[in-house]
Amino acid sequence: MDLILSAIEILMRWDVALALLAGSVGGVLIGAIPGVGPAVAIAILLPATFSMDPIVGLTVLLGIYGSSMYGGAIPAILINTPGTAVNALTTYDGYPMTARGEPRRALSLAYSASFFGGVFSVLCLILFAPVLARVAPMFGSREIFLAALLGIILVIVAHRGQTLIAGALAGLGIFIQSIGLEPVKYSQRYTFDQTWLSGGIDLIVVVLGLFALSQAFVLLTSEDEKIRTTRLRGGLFQGLRELARHPRVAGVSASFGVLMGMIPGVGEFTAQFMSYTYAQRTSKRPEDFGHGSSEGLIAAETANNAVPAAAMVPLLALGIPGEALTAMMLSVFYVHNVVPGPGLFQTRMDFVVALYIALLVLNVLVLIFLLMATRPLVQVVKIPNRFLGICVLTLSFVGVYSLRNSASDCMIAAGFGLFGFVLKRLNMPIVPIILGMVLGNIMEVKLRAGMARVKTPLDFIDRPVAFILFCIIIIVCVAHLRRVWLDRRELKEAEWRSKTRSTRFGGHLFRRRSYLSTERGKTVRARHLPSPRPSTDRD
């Protein structure tokens, strides 16, 4: 109880309250604008948060992170265009409801499901906070290295069908973070005698380039579309009553969100599809899914909003981000000398609980705001793409230059922006680069610290947690290789069946035509042959 009171005291400040309000409202607005998303907004705001108190800066970023998915449901339901990438599954059942004249019901249900998922996740993590405080000290340098390695592996294998390119981009991120002065002996690495590379390539510069500038280029090169929105009539409170009629779907989906959020590299997409699949398989009316099913909408929105609070667990307990947004937040900790990891739960537990309470208050503020301001908020989706692109481009360069007042940083950001633009055009992932930079740095530092007491390779995994993590890494790699082998086997079998069918059908058809033509030829020749003459003996 004293811990909760201490956490509430941290939040009872006017600047924290203002940051929480600005982050929650701003996140909804950002999420409601298709083509922007929370990653762009957080990347632009990162330089500004460095001058704030850590709890204030993190509250703003958490507000945008946690509330953007609420806003992303608005265009997904009304115009079949997800506001954020994780709202893509919302379009499956949200837009069909709008098409049959039920936009108010769909929005109300999405808000209610999102609120339940967010609150459920925060309450679970507040209850498990004492357990995390006990488990976190078991992680030393070797364990954190193995956990970071597991995070990179999970990020790579999560991109099914793009595993090789995801691995290559993660390796590129690890290489980028190694440029500059080496942290132990301060020797030059990959600088090629260029003084502007001596300080390395800043993570925020790369983040702004890959996410903000690349998205600005996408918006500037896309045409403005005339969007027609549906007029909303009536109240938006009925979704709370309808959600209460599906407690099983909501509870299981929120649980999937919590579990998937705590695993680095998994995130909202896996939680959504697992929840949606479960809801469809256990539903009494599975044929309605994809055609305006309330259970499908509940499963999608509950799962994705349960992830943000859970994603803070590996970040706070181990200092390991599970996705790009939490990787950006990690830089805020480092700037203010607040090192996330086992020590944070031992020395600043009130700070951790304060962040979770802030997430809880955030969900309440967002729900109230959306229930009151949805009708005027719908007009946000009509903002032209090119106007948004100019705004994002300008704010991004201002943010990059404000970091170190360096023109070279602006050029590096522009280069990464063009690179990110190319990756987006080719439908290739960007997140592995950022996580490669963050986790690569963690792996290097922890490996050097852990190797000081290691004499043989087996000494590296001689502790229980390290051995468990090593086994999980082996299992994940073997399972992925097995899945790739089975996919290729199924593909070859499918190709063989298709060829066999075409050959059999073609052969049968050819033989049939030959038989008919032969019989027809015999018949024709028989008609025109003269009648046989009797033989005569010529003796």
Instruction: With respect to residue 539, please indicate whether it lies within any of the assigned structural domains.
Output: no
Domain of 487, in residue numbers: 464-505
Same domain, 429 and 480: no
Cβ-based burial of 478 (10 A; exposed 0-12, middle 13-18, buried ≥19): exposed
Q: Is the pTM of this model over 0.85?
A: no
Q: What is the pLDDT of residue 118?
A: 87
Number of structural domains, the chain? 2
Instruction: With respect to residue 531, please indicate whether it lies within any of the assigned structural domains.
Output: no
Instruction: With respect to residue 514, please indicate whether it lies within any of the assigned structural domains.
Output: no
Same domain, 484 and 344: no
Instruction: With respect to residue 516, please indicate whether it lies within any of the assigned structural domains.
Output: no
Using one digit for the tens of pLDDT, what is the confidence trace for 461-470?
888 888 888 8
Same domain, 471 and 419: no
Using one digit for the tens of pLDDT, what is the confidence trace for 396-442?
888 888 777 788 888 988 999 999 999 988 888 888 888 888 888 88
Same domain, 244 and 142: yes
Instruction: With respect to residue 518, please indicate whether it lies within any of the assigned structural domains.
Output: no
Tell me the two tokens of residue 263: 């695993």
Q: What is the pLDDT of residue 231?
A: 58
The residues, any chain, with a CB within 8 Å of residue 425's CB and separated by 6 or more, are: none
Same domain, 359 and 490: no
Q: What is the pLDDT of residue 169?
A: 92
Query: With contact defined as beta carbons under 8 Å apart, do 173 and 374 qualify?
Result: no
Grade residue 528 by pLDDT with cuts at 50, 70 and 90.
very low
Q: b or e along 385-401 (b: 16 or more beta carbons within 10 Å of the residue's beta carbon)?
A: beebbeebbebbbebbe
Same domain, 441 and 476: no
Instruction: With respect to residue 219, please indicate whether it lies within any of the assigned structural domains.
Output: yes
Same domain, 373 and 332: yes
Same domain, 72 and 107: yes
Instruction: With respect to residue 521, please indicate whether it lies within any of the assigned structural domains.
Output: no
Grade residue 539 by pLDDT with cuts at 50, 70 and 90.
very low
For residues 463 and 138, what is the distance between their CA atoms, to the nearest angstrom? 9
Instruction: With respect to residue 520, please indicate whether it lies within any of the assigned structural domains.
Output: no
Query: With contact defined as beta carbons under 8 Å apart, do 210 and 421 qualify?
Result: no
CA torsion through residues 300, 308, 19, 83, sign? negative
Using one digit for the tens of pLDDT, what is the confidence trace for 51-101?
788 788 888 888 888 888 888 888 888 777 777 767 777 888 888 888 777
How many Cβ atoms from other residues are within 10 Å of residue 523's Cβ? 9
Same domain, 95 and 221: yes
Same domain, 381 and 487: no
Q: Which helix (H) or strand (E) holds 189?
A: strand 188-189
Using one digit for the tens of pLDDT, what is the confidence trace for 182-229?
776 777 888 887 777 777 888 888 888 888 888 888 888 877 666 565
Using one digit for the tens of pLDDT, what is the confidence trace for 279-334?
888 888 777 777 778 888 888 888 888 888 888 877 877 777 767 777 777 777 77
Same domain, 95 and 240: yes
- Please, where are the H alpha helices in 426-531? 431-450, 464-528
Same domain, 485 and 389: no
Q: Is the pLDDT of residue 517 over 50?
A: no
Grade residue 233 by pLDDT with cuts at 50, 70 and 90.
low
Q: Is 124 left (phi over 0), alpha (psi -120 to 50) or beta?
A: alpha
